[in-house]
Amino acid sequence: MTEIVCRCEDITEEDILDAIDQGYTTLEEIKRVLRCGMGPCQGRTCIPLITRIVARKTGKSLAEVSRPTTRPPLQPLPLSVFAGEEE
Amino acid sequence: MREEADVVVIGGGVTGCGIAYNLAKKGLTDVIVLERQVPCVGASGRCGGGIRQQFTTDANITLAMESVRLFEQLSVELDTDIEYEQGGYLIIAYEDEVDQFKRNVRLQNSLGLESRFITPEEAREIVPLLNIDPIAGATFCQTDGHANPFRVVHGYARKAQKMGVEISKFTAVTGIVVEDGQIRAVKTDKGTIKTNTVVNAAGAYSRDIASMVGVSLPNKPYRHEILVTEPVEHVLDPMVISFKTGVYFSQQKHGPIIGGIGDPEEPSSYNISASLRFMKRMARTVVELVPAFGHLNVLRQWAGLYDVTPDAQPVLGWTEGVDQFCQANGYSGHGFMIAPKVTELIAELIVDGKPSMPIDDLNLKRFEGEITGEAYVVG
Distance from CA of B17 to the nearest CA of A (A): 15
pLDDT of B35-72, one tens digit each?
999 999 999 999 999 999 999 999 899 999 999 999 99
Identify the residue among A82, A85, A86, A87 best suited for mutation to test binding to B, counting B beta carbons within 10 A and taking the highest.
A82
pLDDT of B251-278, one tens digit each?
998 999 999 999 999 999 999 999 999 9
Instruction: Please report which confidence band the pLDDT of residue A35 belongs to, taking 50, 70 and 90 as the band edges.
Output: very high
Query: Does residue B375 form part of some domain?
Result: no
Q: Inter-chain contact A79–B230, Cβ cutoff 8 Å? A: no
Q: Is B352 helix (H, G, I), strand (E, B) or coil?
A: helix
Say yes or no: A76 contacts chain B, CB-CB below 8 A: yes
Asked if B5 contacts B31 with a C-beta cutoff of 8 angstroms, the reply is yes
CATH code, B342: 3.50.50.60
Using CA atoms, how far residue B157 sits from A74, B5, B53, B193, B350, in Å, is 33, 17, 25, 20, 19
Q: What is the dihedral of CA A55, A60, A63, A68, to 10 degrees?
A: -50
How would you classify residue A59: left for phi > 0, otherwise alpha for psi between -120 and 50, otherwise beta?
Answer: left
Domain edge (last residue) among B288, B308, B328: B308
| Alpha helices per DSSP H over A1-87 | 13-21, 27-34, 46-58, 79-84
Which of B150, B158, B296 faces A79 most closely, judged by CB atoms?
B296
User: E strands, B213-321, where?
Assistant: 220-231, 239-241, 247-251, 256-261, 297-308, 315-319
Judgement on whether residues B298 and B315 belong to the same structural domain of the protein = no
* Domain count of the fold of chain B: 2
Q: Which residues pair with B178 in a beta bridge?
A: B183
pLDDT of B157-194, one tens digit each?
999 999 999 999 999 999 999 999 999 999 999 999 99
Q: Residue B270 contacts by C-beta under 8 Å, 6 or more apart in sequence?
A: B204, B221, B305
Q: Inter-chain contact A76–B150, Cβ cutoff 8 Å? A: no
Asked if B152 contacts B74 with a C-beta cutoff of 8 angstroms, the reply is yes
Distance from CA of A7 to the nearest CA of B (A): 14
Judgement on whether residues B237 and B325 belong to the same structural domain of the protein = no
Domain edge (last residue) among B308, B325, B353: B308
Cβ contacts (< 8 Å) between B157 and chain A: which residues? Answer: none
Query: Does residue B73 form part of some domain?
Result: no
Q: Inter-chain contact B294–A32, Cβ cutoff 8 Å? A: no
ipTM score assigned to the predicted complex: 0.90
Q: Which residues pair with B183 in a beta bridge?
A: B178
CA distance B204 to B177: 22
Instruction: Please report which confidence band the pLDDT of residue A87 belongs to, taking 50, 70 and 90 as the band edges.
Output: very low
Cβ contacts (< 8 Å) between A82 and chain B: which residues? Answer: 279-280, 282-284, 298
Q: How many CA atoms lie within 13 A of B187 on its CB side?
A: 7
Fold classified for A4-84: Arc Repressor Mutant, subunit A (1.10.10)
Which of A22, A33, A78 faces B294 most closely, judged by CB atoms?
A78
pLDDT of B298-356, one tens digit each?
999 999 999 999 999 999 999 999 999 999 999 999 999 999 999 999 999 999 999 99
Query: Does residue B200 form part of some domain?
Result: yes
How would you classify residue A9: left for phi > 0, otherwise alpha for psi between -120 and 50, otherwise beta?
Answer: alpha
Query: Does residue B122 form part of some domain?
Result: yes
Distance from CA of A32 to the nearest CA of B (A): 6
Cβ contacts (< 8 Å) between B287 and chain A: which residues? Answer: 79-80, 83
Judgement on whether residues B210 and B225 belong to the same structural domain of the protein = no
Q: Inter-chain contact A40–B301, Cβ cutoff 8 Å? A: no
**Amino acid identity at B201:** A
Judgement on whether residues B187 and B299 belong to the same structural domain of the protein = no
CA distance A86 to A73: 18
Portion of chain B with pLDDT greater than 70, in percent: 99
User: E strands, B252-333, where?
Assistant: 256-261, 297-308, 315-319, 322-329
Say yes or no: A48 contacts chain B, CB-CB below 8 A: no
Judgement on whether residues B155 and B291 belong to the same structural domain of the protein = no
Which of B284, B293, B297 faces A76 most closely, judged by CB atoms?
B297
CATH code, B97: 3.30.9.10
Parse chain A into domains and list their residue ranges. 4-84
Judgement on whether residues B266 and B354 belong to the same structural domain of the protein = no
Query: Does residue B63 form part of some domain?
Result: no
Judgement on whether residues B130 and B192 belong to the same structural domain of the protein = no
Instruction: Please report which confidence band the pLDDT of residue B370 belongs to, taking 50, 70 and 90 as the band edges.
Output: low
Query: Does residue B52 form part of some domain?
Result: no
**Domain carrying residue B237:** 85-143+220-308
Say yes or no: A71 contacts chain B, CB-CB below 8 A: yes
The closest of B220, B223, B236 to B88, measured between CA atoms, is B236
Q: Inter-chain contact A79–B293, Cβ cutoff 8 Å? A: yes
Instruction: Give the mean pLDDT of B203-209.
Output: 98
Q: Inter-chain contact B283–A33, Cβ cutoff 8 Å? A: no
Q: Residue B4 contacts by C-beta under 8 Å, 6 or more apart in sequence?
A: B30, B193, B194, B195
The closest of B137, B165, B135 to B34, measured between CA atoms, is B165
Asked if A8 contacts A40 with a C-beta cutoff of 8 angstroms, the reply is yes
